[in-house]
């Protein structure tokens, strides 16, 4: 399951869950739309039940965007125990898997 987050609940979500992957997107972003099903597939994978998957509209949520250092879209960020581990602009499924694996290291 993917949780749609806003500035109002973003801090709470990343601090109350030990392993979080966030996808930042915008409605006009074609690459974001193409990546969405891949992100959702990983979130629905039972092997990833220990990871919380969050989507944030980067245009509407400036605080969350700044916290993750978003500089392009789509942008993936991982948080472990509320701390930003890594973030990068990518639409590569392999990179998403690497971020998930790094959260478990």
Residues designated catalytic = 29, 32
Residues 6 or more apart whose CB falls under 8 angstroms from that of 79 comprise 14, 19, 20, 22, 85
CA 84/CA 79 separation, integer angstroms: 4
Closest CA to 14 of 69, 80, 101: 80
CA 89/CA 73 separation, integer angstroms: 6
């Amino acid at each position: 399951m993917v949780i749609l987050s806003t500035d109002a609940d973003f801090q709470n979500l990343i601090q109350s869950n030990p392993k979080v992957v966030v996808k930042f997107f915008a409605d006009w972003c074609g690459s974001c739309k193409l990546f969405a099903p891949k992100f959702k597939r990983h979130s629905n994978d039972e092997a990833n039940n220990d990871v919380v998957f969050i989507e944030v509209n980067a245009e509407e949520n400036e605080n969350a965007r700044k916290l993750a250092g978003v500089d392009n879209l789509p942008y993936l960020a991982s948080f472990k125990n509320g701390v930003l581990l890594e973030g990068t602009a990518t639409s590569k499924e392999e990179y998403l898997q690497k971020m998930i694996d790094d959260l478990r290291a």
